[in-house]
């Protein structure tokens, strides 16, 4: 059966009356039905008023959102993932303009959470809720930002996720510090690996350079043991346009020598031999240790000089 609407409840629509009738059927529950209708009418009126207020506040909210988002962005950049919750509060209090509350987490009684609320300057129930959670050991787990009582159209789809507690989590203003620390450890290990590899390459290069230096020193010592003696020079053509050197090569080293290169150059005005021999002739004789061999070497168009210097500038030893 249906009751007649009570006085003062004439504004209640049929849906409210049917809902209350379903809850409180029968004449004996008339008073409960009456209270139900009044309560639902009052609730609907409050909701209508709130919707109207929120609708009027939308231009103000739209102007406030950039300021609110800028605060949470600054907060995320100000936090070091290795900080304690207390040190984090010291850094964030100046940003938000008041002292944040440290409370016990609802999800884990052993964890603590630092709480901030960023309200608008508008006539609205919308605000941003900022939580910084620390685990049982005191290490920061994350900073997370929720949009509470968010107006229609905020946040945009790509920037939020909807969690089971009916809150819009703003991903752009939430940071997973545990993931950041894992990434930092991974990057630190990568950097260590790069440094170790660079050090290994440096050591290998230094060892190779040292080995090359030792080989060159040994080669120079061996070359110094190859001696030239009884050097004679003869002009073969007029004006000495061709010159022949006759000399002996003696291998005083303990290794066999091949492909000896002889450098030749005019003596200096002080009758000393130069330090460099840009002109070179290669002789292919091989000499066993202790062996001596005569050599004749002809050169064309030598520079004008009465005295020339000869020296062993290269050789192969085996």
**Residues 44 and 109 placed together within one structural domain of the fold:** no
216 located within any domain = no
246 located within any domain = yes
The residue from 113, 146, 180 where one domain ends is 180
187 located within any domain = no
151 located within any domain = yes
pLDDT higher than 80, residue 205: yes
Number of domains in the chain: 3
Of 50-59, 93-102, 110-119, 129-138, which gets the smallest average pLDDT? 50-59
Tens-digit pLDDT profile for residues 272-311: 888 888 888 888 678 899 999 998 888 888 887 778 888 8
**Residues 235 and 152 placed together within one structural domain of the fold:** no
Mean pLDDT of all residues in the chain? 85
What's the pTM? 0.54
Tens-digit pLDDT profile for residues 104-128: 998 899 999 999 999 999 999 899 9
**Residues 73 and 176 placed together within one structural domain of the fold:** yes
Q: How far apart are CA 37 and CA 20, in angstroms?
A: 6
**Mean pLDDT, to the nearest integer, of 192-201?**
93
- Residue 150 DSSP SS3: coil
161 located within any domain = yes
**Residues 73 and 131 placed together within one structural domain of the fold:** yes
21 located within any domain = yes
Tens-digit pLDDT profile for residues 164-186: 454 577 888 889 999 888 888 89
Going by C-beta distance under 8 Å and a sequence separation of 6 or more, which residues neighbour residue 54?
Answer: 124, 125, 126, 151
pLDDT higher than 70, residue 2: no
Q: How far apart are CA 236 and CA 298, in angstroms?
A: 9
Establish whether the linkage from the previous residue to 32 is cis, with ω within 30° of 0.
Answer: no
Tokens at 245, concatenated: 């050197």
**Residues 286 and 257 placed together within one structural domain of the fold:** yes
The CATH number assigned to the domain holding 254 equals: 2.60.40
46 located within any domain = yes
Order of strands, edge to edge, in the sheet holding 308-317? 279-283, 257-266, 308-317
Tens-digit pLDDT profile for residues 135-159: 999 999 999 998 888 888 887 544 4
Q: What is the extent of the structural domain holding 34?
A: 14-55
The residue from 153, 180, 207 where one domain ends is 180
Host H or E run for residue 213: helix 177-224
**Residues 41 and 18 placed together within one structural domain of the fold:** yes
Q: How far apart are CA 236 and CA 230, in angstroms?
A: 19
**Residues 69 and 176 placed together within one structural domain of the fold:** yes
Minimal CA–CA distance to 170: which of 68, 315, 301, 62? 68
């Amino acid at each position: 059966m249906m009751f007649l609407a009570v006085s003062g409840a004439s504004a209640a629509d049929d849906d409210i009356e049917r809902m209350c009738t379903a809850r409180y059927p029968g004449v004996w529950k008339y008073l409960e039905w009456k209270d139900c209708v009044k309560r639902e009418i009052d609730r609907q009126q409050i909701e209508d008023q709130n919707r109207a207020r929120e609708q009027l506040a939308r231009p103000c909210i739209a102007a406030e959102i950039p300021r609110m988002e800028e605060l949470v962005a600054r907060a995320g950049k100000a936090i070091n993932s290795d900080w304690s919750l207390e040190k984090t509060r010291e850094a964030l209090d100046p940003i938000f303009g008041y002292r944040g509350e440290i409370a016990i987490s609802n999800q884990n009684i052993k964890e603590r959470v630092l709480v901030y609320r960023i309200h608008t300057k508008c006539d609205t129930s919308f605000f941003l809720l900022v939580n910084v959670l620390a685990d049982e050991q005191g290490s920061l787990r994350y900073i997370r930002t929720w949009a509470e009582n968010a107006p229609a159209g905020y946040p945009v789809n790509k920037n939020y996720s909807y969690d089971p507690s009916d809150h819009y989590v703003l991903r752009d203003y939430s940071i997973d510090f545990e993931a950041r620390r894992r990434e930092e450890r991974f990057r630190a290990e990568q950097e260590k690996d790069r440094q170790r590899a660079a050090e290994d390459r440096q050591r290998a290069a230094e060892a190779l350079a040292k080995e090359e230096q030792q080989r060159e020193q040994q080669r120079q010592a061996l070359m110094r043991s190859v001696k030239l003696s009884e050097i004679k020079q003869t002009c073969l053509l007029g004006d000495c346009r061709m010159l022949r050197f006759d000399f002996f090569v003696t291998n005083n080293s303990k290794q066999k020598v091949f492909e000896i290169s002889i450098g030749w150059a005019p003596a200096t005005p002080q009758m000393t031999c130069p330090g460099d021999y840009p002109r070179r002739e290669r002789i292919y004789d091989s000499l066993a240790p202790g062996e001596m061999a005569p050599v004749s070497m002809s050169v064309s168009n030598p520079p004008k000089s009465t005295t020339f210097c000869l020296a062993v500038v290269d050789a192969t030893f085996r």
